[in-house]
Structure 1
Amino acid sequence: MKIAPSILSADFGKLAEEVKVICNAGADFIHVDVMDGHFVPNMTMGPMIVEAVSKASTKPLDIHFMVENIPFFVDMYAHIKPEFITFHIEEEKHINRVIQQIRNYDIRPGVVLNPATPVSLLEYIVADVDMVLLMSVNPGFGGQKFIPSVIDKIKELRELAIKKNPNLLIEVDGGVNDKNAKLLKEAGADILVAGSFVFKSNDYKKAIESLR
């Protein structure tokens, strides 16, 4: 199991220090939530802040766009060279075009599904992406309660991936903690995003180990 702490829950007053500490505590990726105040009712990090995070990090970045006008944001953040860029299929009309746009920057593309978005919509694109992020809360804010129905979505997605893309990574984001991590792994998840659970703990390393 890979763990990607979400810096949305970090202390932004000492963000570089938080990133360094979380890397040393055993994080596999640094999850970066980019929100524009339109697709979701919140705003977070512009490219200058994300670039500073990248410079402070010894782990690869995993950027999750919760934005409108996705191609514009891909071009704006691509120079930071994250490992992954993921975007919501609910927002994008030309999904394959954006997947290729991300690949053209030598970045691994992924797509994101909101809790109520069915896995069946991925049937004709799952072979073209490296990762699918399943939201287990409605996006926009940290600290929300886990939606249990995502367990069945993970299982369904894993079955689809076995048929069409065996190397697909399944990431889960929202309300992840040490109580549901085992269920997520057993369902077929590869990467767990955890914000509040890690950053609100007294021991980042212990929190990450409990998820793993």
Structure 2
Amino acid sequence: MTEIGISILSSDLLNLEKEIKSIEKSKADYIHIDIMDGHFVPNLTFGPDIVAQVKRMTKIPLDVHLMIDNPARYIETFASVGADILTVHYEACNQLDEVLSLIRRHGCKPGLAIKPTTSVESIKKYLDKVSLVLQMTVEPGFGGQAFIEATLENLQTLDLHRTHHHLSYMIEVDGGINKVTGKKCVNAGADVLAVGSYYINALNREKIIQELKN
């Protein structure tokens, strides 16, 4: 069954605890937290304090997505406040092998994210070192964007590579995910759907989760 991560980027941050309890009630598998620095992407969002607060509120695993330059500086910090998965961008790392090893040493599962225009070929040599590959299906930086259909080819390539090389990384997608685009992603090989505004704005959140999982 497909797993679902709920992005809190579009949630009501003045009622964060209420939002987390709603996510728990909906039976989501992960809480997806987007960390943006205003440099790697043109937006500023959360820091480690928010991750720590969310960790205190729930036992749902935290999928922390670092959309920041030079993420090695912050691996220890985000690991220490409760990240379960720490995902860094291929495009933001000069010494990616070392960064992925650092994530493991601090007790987190290492994830590797790529932008829509980045080829899978460029990351193949790292795929035996990661627990998760995150394919961005919009340009990273802001919620509510339209899904980029061309990213489906990358998903198929990631799925084929995983099968051929007997690897076990999960494939996650993030950006513009709804019932229609989510089905396309799952059919192309995705295991985890990170969902933001489609879930947050739904009148029946539990129904949305069940539809996406099935």
TM-score of the pair, normalised by structure 2: 0.96
Q: How many positions carry a matched residue from both structures?
A: 212
* Alignment-derived partner of residue 104 in structure 1: 105
Query: Do the aligned residues in 1 keep the contact of 2:79 with 2:107 (CA within 8 Å)?
Result: no
Question: Letter of the aligned partner of 2:124 in structure 1?
Answer: E
* Alignment-derived partner of residue 156 in structure 1: 157
Question: Letter of the aligned partner of 1:154 in structure 2?
Answer: L
Alpha-carbon distance in structure 1 between the residues aligned to 2:120 and 2:142 = 23
Q: 1:78-98: CA deviations, max 9, x gaps?
A: 112322100100010100000
Q: CA RMSD in A?
A: 0.9
Alignment of 1:87-98 (within 5 A): 87-98=88-99
Alignment of 1:1-212 (within 5 A): 1-212=2-213
Superposition deviation, residue 163 in structure 1: 2.5
Query: Do the aligned residues in 1 keep the contact of 2:147 with 2:175 (CA within 8 Å)?
Result: yes
Query: Do the aligned residues in 2 keep the contact of 1:32 with 1:64 (CA within 8 Å)?
Result: yes
Is there any run of 5+ residues in structure 2 with no aligned partner, and where? none
Question: Letter of the aligned partner of 2:56 in structure 1?
Answer: K
Query: Do the aligned residues in 1 keep the contact of 2:52 with 2:82 (CA within 8 Å)?
Result: no
Question: Letter of the aligned partner of 2:149 in structure 1?
Answer: P
Question: Secondary structure at 2:180's aligned position in 1?
Answer: coil
Question: Letter of the aligned partner of 1:181 in structure 2?
Answer: G
Superposition deviation, residue 166 in structure 1: 2.5
Alpha-carbon distance in structure 2 between the residues aligned to 1:148 and 1:193 = 16
Identity of aligned residues (%): 37
Question: Secondary structure at 1:116's aligned position in 2?
Answer: coil
Query: Do the aligned residues in 1 keep the contact of 2:104 with 2:110 (CA within 8 Å)?
Result: yes
Query: Do the aligned residues in 2 keep the contact of 1:126 with 1:165 (CA within 8 Å)?
Result: no
Q: Which moved more, 1:135-144 or 1:154-163?
A: 154-163
Superposition deviation, residue 155 in structure 1: 0.3
Query: Do the aligned residues in 2 keep the contact of 1:137 with 1:174 (CA within 8 Å)?
Result: yes
TM-score of the pair, normalised by structure 1: 0.97
Structure 1 runs (4+) greater than 4 angstroms displaced: none
Alpha-carbon distance in structure 2 between the residues aligned to 1:139 and 1:123 = 21
Alpha-carbon distance in structure 2 between the residues aligned to 1:180 and 1:7 = 19
Question: Secondary structure at 1:171's aligned position in 2?
Answer: strand
Alpha-carbon distance in structure 2 between the residues aligned to 1:178 and 1:32 = 21
Superposition deviation, residue 165 in structure 1: 4.6
Query: Do the aligned residues in 1 keep the contact of 2:65 with 2:88 (CA within 8 Å)?
Result: yes
Is there any run of 5+ residues in structure 1 with no aligned partner, and where? none
